Amino acid sequence: MSKKILSTVLAITVLVLSFATGCTNKQSTPSTQEKTKVGMVTDSGTIDDKSFNQGTWEGIKKYAADKGTIEEKYLQPSGEQETDYINAINDLVDSGYKIVVTPGFKFETAINKAADAHKDSTFILIDGMPHEEGKFDFVKHDNVVSVFFTEHEAGFLAGVASALSTKTNKLGFVGGMKIPPVEKFGIGFKAGVLYANKTFGTKAEIVDYIYQGTFDDVAAGQTLAAGMYNKGVDIIFHAAGGVGAGVFNEAKQRAEKGQKVWVVGVDVDQYETGKISNGSSVTLTSAMKRIDVAAYDYIDAKLNGNFPGGQIITLSLAENGVGLPENNPNLSADTITKVEQAKKDVLDKKITVPTSEDELAKFMK
Amino acid sequence: MWDIITNIVPLALAYTAPLLIIALGGLYSERSGVVNIGLEGLMGIGAFTSALVISKTAGNLGHTAVYVGLLAAALAGGIFSVLHAFASVTMRSDQVVSGTAINILSAALTVYLARSLTGSANIQIVSGFIKRDVPVLSKIPVIGPLFFREAYITTLIVFLIVVFSWFILYYRPFGLRLRACGENPQAADSLGINVLKMRYIGVIISGVLAGLGGGIVITTYSGEFSPLVYSGLGFLALAALIFGKWNPWGVVGASLFFGLAKTVADMSKLFEGLKGMPNIIFNTFPYVVTLVALVLFSKNAAGPKAAGEPYDPGKR
pLDDT digits (tens, 9 = 90+) for A112-145: 999 999 999 999 999 889 999 888 889 999 999 9
Contact residues on chain A for B120, CB-CB shorter than 8 A? 48
Q: Does position A9 have pLDDT exceeding 70, yes or no? A: no
pLDDT digit string, tens, across residues B63-93: 899 999 999 999 999 999 999 999 999 999 9
- Whether residue B310 is contained in a domain is answered as no
Q: How confident is the model at residue B4 (pLDDT cuts 50, 70, 90)?
A: confident
User: B224 CB near a chain A CB, below 8 Å?
Assistant: yes
Residue among A12, A46, A209, A263 with most chain B CBs within 10 A, to mutate:
A46
Please indicate, yes or no, whether residues A202 and A349 belong to a single structural domain of this protein.
yes
Q: pLDDT value at position A14?
A: 61
How far apart CA A149 and CA A288 sit, in angstroms, is 10
A262 shares its domain with A311: no
Name every residue whose Cβ is closer than 8 Å to that of residue A207 and which is 6 or more positions away in sequence: A170, A171, A172, A228, A231, A232, A233
Number of domains in chain A: 2
Domain count, chain B: 1
User: Per residue in B29-52, pLDDT tens?
Assistant: 999 999 999 999 999 999 999 999
| Residue B138 confidence class, pLDDT cut points 50, 70, 90 | confident
**B226 at A interface, C-beta within 8 A:** yes
- Calculate the alpha carbon distances from B230 to A23, A191, A229, B108 in Å: 21, 37, 27, 11
Structure ipTM: 0.88
Encode pLDDT of A14-25 as tens digits. Answer: 655 555 554 444
With an 8 Å Cβ cutoff, are A224 and B11 in contact? no
Measured between beta carbons, the chain B residues lying within 8 angstroms of A22 are 108
Residue A160: name the closest of A349, A354, A343 by CA. Answer: A343
Look at residue B279 and tell me if it is in a domain. Answer: yes
**Region class of B131: left (phi > 0), else alpha (psi between -120 and 50), else beta:** beta
User: Based on the domain organization, do A213 and A354 belong to the same domain?
Assistant: yes
Instruction: Tell me, yes or no, whether B13 lies in a domain.
Output: yes
Any idea what the CATH number is for the domain that residue A111 is in?
A: 3.40.50.2300
Q: What is the pLDDT of residue B228?
A: 87
Contact (CB<8Å) A219/B266: yes
pLDDT at A30: 46
- Minimal C-alpha gap between A6 and chain B (Å): 10
HSE of A252, CA atoms in CB hemisphere, 13 A: 33
Residue predicted with more confidence, A333 or A6? A333
CB B279 within 8 A of CB B267: no
Closest in B15, B127, B221 to A256, CB measured: B127
Quickly state the pLDDT bin for B301 (edges 50, 70, 90).
Answer: low
Same-domain status, A300 and A196: no
Is B304 inside any structural domain? no
Angle (CA) A113-A117-A122 rounded to 5° is 90
Q: Is the domain of A249 the same as that of A172?
A: yes
User: In angstroms, rounded to a whole number, what is the distance separating the alpha carbons of residues B10 and A262?
Assistant: 22
Same domain assignment for residues A76 and A185: no
**pLDDT beyond 90 at A29:** no
Mean pLDDT of chain B: 90
Q: Which of A31-35, A269-273, B8-12 has the lowest mean pLDDT?
A: A31-35
Same domain membership, residue A161 and residue A55: no
Same domain, A225 and A351: yes
The predicted structure's pLDDT at residue A25: 47
Give the structural domain span for A206: 151-288+332-362
8 Å CB contact between B54 and B218: yes
pTM over 0.90: no
Taking residues B176-190, what's their average pLDDT?
94
Same domain? For A160 and A301 the reply is: no
Q: Which residues contact A92 (CB under 8 A, 6 or more apart)?
A: A39, A41, A73, A75, A100
Give the integer Cα–Cα distance in Å for B222 and B47: 10
Give me the CATH number covering residue B33. 1.10.3470
Sheet holding A122-126, edge to edge: A70-75, A36-41, A99-103, A122-126, A144-149, A312-315
Give one DSSP letter per residue of B111-166, joined into a string.
Answer: HHHHHHHHSSS-EE-S-----BPPTTGGGSTTHIIIIISSB-HHHHHHHHHHHHHH
Based on the domain organization, do A89 and A182 belong to the same domain? no
**What single letter denotes the amino acid at residue B126?**
V
Note the pLDDT of residue A23.
47
Write out pLDDT tens, residues A100-119.
Answer: 999 988 899 999 999 999 99
The partner residue sitting opposite A21, judged by closest CB among B7, B109, B127, is B109
The SS3 of residue B106 is: helix
